[in-house]
Amino acid sequence: MRKAIAFGLILMLLLASSVVGCGNGDNGNGGNGGGNEPAEPTVESISVNPADVEIEIGGGMQYWASAAYSDGSDSVVTGEVTWSSSAEAVATIGAGGLASAVAAGVTTITAALEGKSASATLTVTEEPPETVTIIDSAGREVTLPKPLSRIVALHTDVAEAIRALGAKDRIVGVTKYIADQPEYWPDLKDVTACGSSFSPNYEQLVALDPQVVIVYSGTFGFSAPTELEETMAAAGIAVVQLDCYKPESMTRDLSTLGVMLGTEARAAEYITFIEGYLSIVNDRVKSLTSSEKMRVYFEQWTDYKSVAEGAGYHDMILMAGGINVFAGAGVAYPIVSPEAILAKDPQLVIKNTQEPGYKATDSSALQTIRNALLARAGWNNMDAVLNNKVYVVSNEIVGGTKKPIAICYIAKWLYPDLFLDFDPEEMLIEFMVEYQGVPYQGVYFYSG
């Protein structure tokens, strides 16, 4: 028997699909050079998740819809599609994709948009089954026991997400990186460390006897954890690949996690918190034309290692209304030349670092890195330098589950006049205090 439950109307961010000027950026100035906007991409297909699930009478199921477009892009369109249930006496479904079980039976849930549609089967039973079936970040159906009470979180992003959903006490094993940040993880610092998503300690995992081990889906460029899955399967332990760090799929991952934990209402509340801020950003930047959008150069902690399509940092730039000057580099994390950066003449520079943010008490480390950037040959004439828009940041704020917060900061750095009444720090404070249960502290940015 399979089961999945979700409650609350989840606000889905309508991602801006136009990335005019991001594809090649050959002129270094953004835009398309001719002032003519390209035709809007059309919907080629729709997909609905989850597929073929079972819930009990009185329960709910949050559905998600994604669209594949003619330009090769994909987008979450849960709030844009028209939802319907073939048997409303069995289950109804609202505009946000939330289905409510009414009576025992079977119904077909359909999402339609621009003449395209997709469906999933929903079965409603009288008795609650003892398992829950979810679709993870790798698109796999995984059946888990219910209730789920013993979890190993093999990356910090999912550990943060679990803590945000109020289920930290169910974590019996963690990634080794949590032990390195006891200030931020006072509640998990003494939990057994079992390696990481890509270097797990199998003996420790089996000894802990968890119901599930949660790892990344391999979206960092690593192969799927086949060996881990085989080893855990032999011990009767499920493996779920759940990312919780990619902006375009974070809502789906958090909703899935809420289903796994049985904390659907808390997940809906947390998603509403995130999407509430992101919707403000989206509403204010979506009307910008390609010529009005500002050019952004994002550099990783390795000098001259930038980001392009396929990297979560690239998505952050787009969602903040910017143009990633190296979007079309062909690989997610390209090494670029100093000359290429100067030719792009970015209007905003963001340098990511591995410097600690939460336990930092001053900006001296970030300031040193910024000074080194400004000393690079030719940078004194760069637009971003001339207008004091060179930001050095800690990866603790631009990585993982905090990416939505970073998007809000970047949007304000890019277009301060559009966000005079908007304070991303309020979001950061609420995230830490209300959803992580830790004091607000640290230094995460420096811009001179």
With a CB cutoff of 8 Å and minimum separation 6, the contacts of 195 are: 154, 175, 176, 201, 204
Looking at the structure, do residues 303 and 227 belong to the same domain, yes or no? no
| Domain boundary residue, one of 204, 220, 242 | 242
pLDDT for 294 = 98
Q: Which residues pair with 48 in a beta bridge?
A: 65
Q: What is the pTM of this model?
A: 0.80
Looking at the structure, do residues 227 and 307 belong to the same domain, yes or no? no
Looking at the structure, do residues 236 and 341 belong to the same domain, yes or no? no
Residue pair 359/183 in contact (Cβ under 8 Å)? The answer is: yes
| Domain boundary residue, one of 242, 274, 309 | 242
Looking at the structure, do residues 238 and 298 belong to the same domain, yes or no? no
Looking at the structure, do residues 299 and 437 belong to the same domain, yes or no? yes
Calpha distance 179→190 (Å, rounded)? 8
User: In total, how many domains does the chain have?
Assistant: 2
User: Residue 239 is encoded by which pair of tokens?
Assistant: 């493996």
Calpha distance 105→415 (Å, rounded)? 52
Looking at the structure, do residues 204 and 310 belong to the same domain, yes or no? no
| Domain boundary residue, one of 242, 260, 283 | 242
The per-residue pLDDT for range 298-320, each reduced to its tens digit, is 999 999 999 999 888 999 999 99
**Considering the domain boundaries, does residue 202 fall inside one?**
yes
pLDDT for 223 = 52
**Considering the domain boundaries, does residue 263 fall inside one?**
no
The per-residue pLDDT for range 199-230, each reduced to its tens digit, is 899 999 999 999 999 999 875 545 556 788 89
Residue pair 420/362 in contact (Cβ under 8 Å)? The answer is: no
Q: Which residues pair with 199 in a beta bridge?
A: 196
Query: In which residue ranges of the chain is pLDDT below 50?
Result: 1-35, 221
**Considering the domain boundaries, does residue 231 fall inside one?**
yes
Looking at the structure, do residues 304 and 439 belong to the same domain, yes or no? yes
Give the CA distances from residue 421 to residues 281, 284, 412, in Å, rounded to whole numbers and listed in that order: 12, 12, 10
Q: Which residues pair with 107 in a beta bridge?
A: 122
Domain that holds residue 205: 138-242
pLDDT for 38 = 55
pLDDT for 220 = 53
**Considering the domain boundaries, does residue 18 fall inside one?**
no
Looking at the structure, do residues 196 and 299 belong to the same domain, yes or no? no
CATH number of the domain enclosing 432: 3.40.50.1980
82-85 and 43-49: which strand pairing?
A: unpaired
With a CB cutoff of 8 Å and minimum separation 6, the contacts of 355 are: 365, 366, 369, 394
pLDDT for 364 = 97
Looking at the structure, do residues 303 and 430 belong to the same domain, yes or no? yes
Give the CA distances from residue 111 to residues 10, 73, 77, 283, 427, in Å, rounded to whole numbers and listed in that order: 16, 19, 10, 24, 32
**Considering the domain boundaries, does residue 268 fall inside one?**
no
Q: What is the dihedral of CA 106, 111, 116, 119, to 10 degrees?
A: -30
Looking at the structure, do residues 336 and 438 belong to the same domain, yes or no? yes
**Considering the domain boundaries, does residue 374 fall inside one?**
yes
User: Residue 437 is encoded by which pair of tokens?
Assistant: 């249960």
pLDDT for 26 = 32
With a CB cutoff of 8 Å and minimum separation 6, the contacts of 264 are: 5, 6, 7, 8, 60, 62, 255, 258
**Considering the domain boundaries, does residue 286 fall inside one?**
no
**Considering the domain boundaries, does residue 221 fall inside one?**
yes
pLDDT for 225 = 65
Looking at the structure, do residues 309 and 233 belong to the same domain, yes or no? no
With a CB cutoff of 8 Å and minimum separation 6, the contacts of 414 are: 294, 296, 320, 321, 322, 347, 348
Give the CA distances from residue 268 to residues 56, 168, 428, in Å, rounded to whole numbers and listed in that order: 20, 17, 18
Looking at the structure, do residues 303 and 424 belong to the same domain, yes or no? yes
